[in-house]
Amino acid sequence: MPTAGTPGSTVSTTTTTDATGAFSIAPFTGELDLSQPADLGAPVDQAGDDLAGADLAGVDSGATDLAAADLAPGPDMALPPPTPATFVQKGSYCQGTGSCVAYLPAASSPGDLLVISCGGASDTPPTLPNGWVQAVIDQPGTGATTSIWYYLDTFGGSTGINVSGGSASALSAVVSEWSGPTTLNVTGAKSAVQSQSATATTSAAASASLAISVFGVATGANPVTFTQGAWQNIANDSGVNTAWHVTTDYLLAPTLDQPVTADATANYSGAWYGVVATFR
């Protein structure tokens, strides 16, 4: 006759006969089916290599997979390499009182990044058309500002961009076009000043393919000349006999994972303003 057991398990029983030939069934103890090392109690399946060793306590949950590579800072969490930047075109400085229009020599191409470098002899920051984003500004409240603005020109066709300084003061602006980078990376403002030079350093390590700087110096009415360093010049107003002078430079492929430092030097002393921005 069948004997009840655990559902899904095999039940083992023992039968004997007495002197009369009648059969009897020994009580089921469960020892044979449930306590065998190979089925449930052995270390191999639960306590050994499968669960405690390799799958849960070792490779999958331990230092190698989760704590070291996937979740901790390092190569897995780093930004991918930036898209290389290519210079497309630039305008010349527009200069005005309160506002001016920065022109490109030709209409921009779809998908390119446009960057405007601004310097104004006023505490009022510049205003640009809708869609332009301020990357960084040096606005200490001492009579002038320098700033960088950018715009991802999805549809192309841009030629002139109106820049308003917000007051009746000298304003300079220039627009440049770049293929490759599409977004801002890290920025910085003036970090050190001497009488005839200044530097600006990003506040964090850069992962970018393009860096742009803008420096302005208030000197009084002098024909200031800027000395070119390792960066390439986009535009400057060297030699103009005015009290406010601006220069903007660029650097392709700045060193990855390090702060970026830009500098400017002039032949006259003055009050310096400066910013740097990187793009990727």
- The 3-state secondary structure of the chain reads CCCCCCCCCCCCCCEEECCCCCEEECCCCCHHHHCCHHHHHCCCCCCCHHHHHHHCCCCCCCHHHHHHHHCCCCCCCCCCCCCCCEEEEECCCEEEECEEEEECCCCCCCCEEEEEEEEECCCCCCECCCCCEEEEEECCCCCCEEEEEEEEECCCCCCEEEEECCCCCEEEEEEEEEECCCCEEEEEEEEEECCCEEEEECCCCECCCEEEEEEEEEEEEEECCEECCCCEEEEECCCCEEEEEEEEEEEECCCCCECCEEEEEECCCCEEEEEEEEEC
Confidence at residue 69, expressed as pLDDT on a 0 to 100 scale: 38
Two tokens at 143? 């009579």
Radius of gyration in angstroms for the set of CA atoms belonging to the chain, rounded to a whole number: 36
Query: Dihedral (C-alpha) 115, 134, 126, 116: value to the nearest 10 degrees?
Result: 0
Closest CA to 137 of 278, 280, 237, 276: 276
Phi/psi of residue 273, nearest 5 degrees: -140, 140
Confidence at residue 228, expressed as pLDDT on a 0 to 100 scale: 87
Q: How far apart are CA 162 and CA 164, in angstroms?
A: 7
Two tokens at 243? 């009290």
222 to each of 150, 185, 245, 254, 270, how far by Cα in Å?
31, 36, 9, 33, 10
Cβ neighbours of 243 (radius 10 Å): 15
Residue 167 · residue 263 · CB < 8 Å:
no
Residue 213 · residue 262 · CB < 8 Å:
yes
Confidence at residue 187, expressed as pLDDT on a 0 to 100 scale: 98
Phi/psi of residue 64, nearest 5 degrees: -65, -50
Counting as low any pLDDT under 50, the low residues of the chain are 1-13, 15, 17, 23, 32-36, 38-76
68 to each of 64, 140, 256, 257, how far by Cα in Å?
5, 43, 23, 20
Residues ≥6 apart with Cβ < 8 Å to 195: 269, 270
